């Protein structure tokens, strides 16, 4: 089995979950990875208690960036906006379950960057 | 056995130490020379010898070492200028092509552009010949316009004439060879038409000087910019060839030491060309290294360099379509393009292509290649790109094709 392009990753790449737009939505952000041109946007629907009830990612990019967004989308429904805002980069890497080399790190973290953009307005690259 | 200028290709390759490396257990197949070329031992030795034997600041020392360093530095300028067919006094050393273009955008643009004027560039420019003009237009109130790129990856001279006929274009800036789709543009023709319409011209030769036999004088642009590190030379040195009357009339770009004639408390006067545009201590060792790179290319002969790269490009253009779902934008004829081939494969993103190629030691670039408007024009977010120089082989192209089949296998295609 391929160490990076595991079946799990390729399945999420080819059949991304929660992909598309969400209208209406409460929060949104859009960003890109200038290194390779990957683009990703997110729409979030949030209830009165600040919990995410629905999510859609949209954009285009490599297998790692698209699969990571798909995998993360399945985890964040039910989380509060505050919880999402505080998710560290290591949490995303953990969800992927593969080793991410420094050259692919931004691919894997683009989804968290836009999630942070949507929940905090901070558009810097996630650390930690 | 493959040869370059009747020299076995294996002997040429032996001049490039990095090619002996293994990457991920396979011999390195370096297919990214459009980003930066590898350096022959002759360049490394010249720079090493300069630092070991002749290092001193130039243009000042009355002592022996200072004279030697100055002779090496100015000697490199003369060789570089002679190699491309331009005069040394109007051949300015910069840090890279980007700085050379910024020099013109700030110095010429700052005193010659204003509201109502237009700067005409093309959709196939590298960001280095695009962003400086965006910024110059923002500062001066001029308008930036683009010549379109056809589906075959070419510019239209008719469109150029139509835009020039409107009478507002003050400067035309165009790349000699596209770094993405390889198109060799008819720059002499573009320059002639722009000049007839009263526009100043700048040609970005970063991809052309390393691989094409031609003379900058025949292109006859007002400014011709290129960079050393893509032409087998070191990083940190670029070149701007300029028309004397323009360079003399322009204010300095950067100011400071060396570029002055006299400095008073309130104002200064500028030194002659090219010193006026070379403020501060120059990249001396880098100039020496570039001189050695030019000697190396000259010894092989640019006709032979071109023939070799043309052969590899034609071979790649013939073999790549074996990969199902591949798209290769740009001119289909190797005669119409430089040694660069971009491609996209349905179902495998370029970044993933490059990652899987790297596993077998094949180094290709993936992304937008600093040409985002061109990517938009071609309707793709990114491509993978293989580019060649004198040390590459057909076997390396074979390994690329093999790696692309492997990429499709990994993705279950």
Residue B381 at interface with chain A, using a CB cutoff of 8 Å: yes
Nearest Cα residue in chain B from A2: B410
Q: Which helix (H) or strand (E) holds A60?
A: strand A52-60
- Residue B19 belongs to some domain of the structure: yes
Of B282, B297, B312, the residue that ends a domain is: B297
Of B267, B297, B327, the residue that ends a domain is: B297
- Residue A49 belongs to some domain of the structure: yes
Asked whether the predicted pLDDT for residue B375 surpasses 90, the reply is no
Name every chain A residue with its beta carbon within 8 A of the beta carbon of B408: none
From the candidates B370, B373, B380, B406, give the one annotated as an active-site residue.
Answer: B370
Same domain, B125 and B190: yes
**Chain A to chain B, count of Cβ pairs less than 8 Å apart?**
44
Same domain, B103 and B240: yes
- Residue B180 belongs to some domain of the structure: yes
Same domain, B67 and B190: yes
Asked whether the predicted pLDDT for residue B252 surpasses 70, the reply is yes
- Residue B85 belongs to some domain of the structure: yes
Counting other chains too, the contacts that A18-27 makes at CB distance below 8 Å and 24 or more residues apart are A18/A54, A18/A55, A18/A56, A18/A57, A18/A70, A18/A73, A18/A74, A19/A56, A19/A57, A19/A58, A19/A70, A19/A73, A20/A56, A20/A58, A21/A56, A21/A58, A22/A54, A22/A55, A22/A56, A25/A56, A27/A81, A27/A118, A27/A119
Same domain, B32 and B63: no
> Please, what is the average pLDDT of chain B?
96
pLDDT digits (tens, 9 = 90+) for B319-343: 999 999 999 999 999 999 999 999 9
Nearest Cα residue in chain B from A9: B411
- Report how many domains make up chain A: 1
- Residue B4 belongs to some domain of the structure: no
CATH of the domain at B379: 3.90.1150.10
Domain that holds residue B395: 9-38+302-410
Name every chain B residue with its beta carbon within 8 A of the beta carbon of A61: 349, 351, 381
Of B297, B313, B343, the residue that ends a domain is: B297
Question: What is the β-pairing status of strands B143-147 and B118-122?
Answer: parallel
Beta pairing partners, A39: A32, A60
Asked whether the predicted pLDDT for residue B226 surpasses 90, the reply is yes
- Residue B187 belongs to some domain of the structure: yes
pLDDT digits (tens, 9 = 90+) for B121-168: 999 999 999 999 999 999 999 999 999 999 999 999 999 999 999 999
Which pLDDT belongs to residue B1? 58
User: Does the annotation mark B137 as catalytic?
Assistant: no
pLDDT digits (tens, 9 = 90+) for B266-305: 888 898 999 999 999 999 999 999 999 999 999 999 999 9
> Please, what is the average pLDDT of chain A?
94
Residue B382 at interface with chain A, using a CB cutoff of 8 Å: yes
Look at A36 and B368 and tell me if their CB atoms are within 8 Å: yes
- Residue A127 belongs to some domain of the structure: no
Q: Mean per-residue pLDDT for B94-119?
A: 98
CATH of the domain at A115: 3.90.1010.10
Same domain, B130 and B217: yes
- Residue A26 belongs to some domain of the structure: yes
Domain that holds residue A99: 2-120
Residue B82 at interface with chain A, using a CB cutoff of 8 Å: no
* Residues on chain A bordering chain B, Cβ-to-Cβ distance under 8 angstroms: 2, 4-5, 10, 14, 35-39, 60-64, 66, 103-104, 107
pLDDT digits (tens, 9 = 90+) for B8-32: 899 999 999 999 999 999 999 999 9
Verdict on whether the full-model pTM lies above 0.80: yes
């Amino acid at each position: 089995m391929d160490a990076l392009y595991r079946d799990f990753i390729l399945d999420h790449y080819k059949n991304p979950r929660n992909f598309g737009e969400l209208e209406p939505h409460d929060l949104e952000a859009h960003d890109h990875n200038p290194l390779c041109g990957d683009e990703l946007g997110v729409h979030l629907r949030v209830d009165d208690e600040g919990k995410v009830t629905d999510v859609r990612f949209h954009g285009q990019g490599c297998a790692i960036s698209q699969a990571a967004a798909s995998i993360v989308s399945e985890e964040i429904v039910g989380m509060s906006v505050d919880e999402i805002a505080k998710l560290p980069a290591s949490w995303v890497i953990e969800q992927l379950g593969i080793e991410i080399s420094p050259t692919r790190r931004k691919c894997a973290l683009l989804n968290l960057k836009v999630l942070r953009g949507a929940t905090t307005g901070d558009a810097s690259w996630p650390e930690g | 056995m493959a040869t370059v200028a009747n020299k076995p290709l294996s002997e040429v390759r032996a001049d490039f130490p990095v090619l002996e490396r293994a990457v991920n257990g396979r011999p390195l197949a370096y297919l990214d020379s459009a980003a930066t070329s590898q350096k022959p031992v002759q360049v490394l030795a010249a720079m090493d010898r300069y630092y070991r034997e002749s290092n001193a600041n130039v243009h000042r020392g009355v002592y022996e070492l200072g004279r030697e360093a100055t002779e090496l530095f100015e000697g490199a300028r003369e060789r570089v200028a002679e190699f491309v067919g331009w005069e040394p006094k109007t051949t300015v050393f910069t840090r890279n092509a980007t700085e050379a273009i910024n020099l013109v955008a700030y110095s010429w643009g700052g005193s010659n552009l204003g509201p109502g004027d237009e700067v005409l560039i093309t959709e196939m420019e590298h960001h280095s010949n695009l962003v400086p003009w965006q910024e110059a237009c923002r500062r001066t109130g001029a308008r930036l316009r683009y010549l379109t790129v056809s589906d075959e990856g070419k510019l239209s001279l008719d469109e150029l004439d139509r835009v020039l006929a409107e009478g507002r274009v003050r400067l035309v800036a165009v790349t000699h060879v596209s770094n993405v789709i390889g198109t060799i543009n008819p720059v002499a023709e573009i320059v002639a038409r722009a000049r007839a319409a009263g526009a100043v011209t700048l040609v970005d030769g970063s991809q052309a000087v390393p691989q094409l036999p031609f003379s900058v004088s025949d292109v006859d642009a007002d400014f011709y910019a290129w960079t050393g590190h893509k032409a087998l030379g070191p990083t940190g040195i670029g070149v701007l060839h300029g028309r004397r009357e323009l360079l003399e009339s322009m204010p300095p770009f950067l100011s400071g030491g060396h570029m002055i004639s006299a400095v008073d408390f309130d104002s200064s006067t500028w030194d002659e060309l090219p010193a006026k545009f070379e403020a501060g201590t120059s990249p001396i060792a880098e100039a020496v290294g570039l001189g050695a790179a030019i000697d190396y290319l000259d010894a092989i002969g640019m006709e032979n360099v071109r023939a070799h790269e043309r052969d590899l490009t034609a071979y790649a253009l013939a073999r790549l379509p074996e990969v199902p779902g591949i798209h290769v934008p740009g001119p289909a004829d190797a005669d119409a393009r430089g040694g660069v081939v971009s491609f996209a494969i349905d179902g495998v993103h370029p970044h993933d292509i490059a990652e899987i190629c790297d596993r077998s030691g094949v180094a290709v670039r993936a992304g937008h290649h600093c040409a985002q408007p061109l990517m938009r024009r071609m309707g793709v977010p990114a491509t993978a790109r293989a580019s060649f120089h004198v040390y590459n082989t057909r076997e390396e192209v074979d390994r690329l094709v093999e790696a692309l089949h492997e990429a499709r296998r990994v993705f279950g295609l």
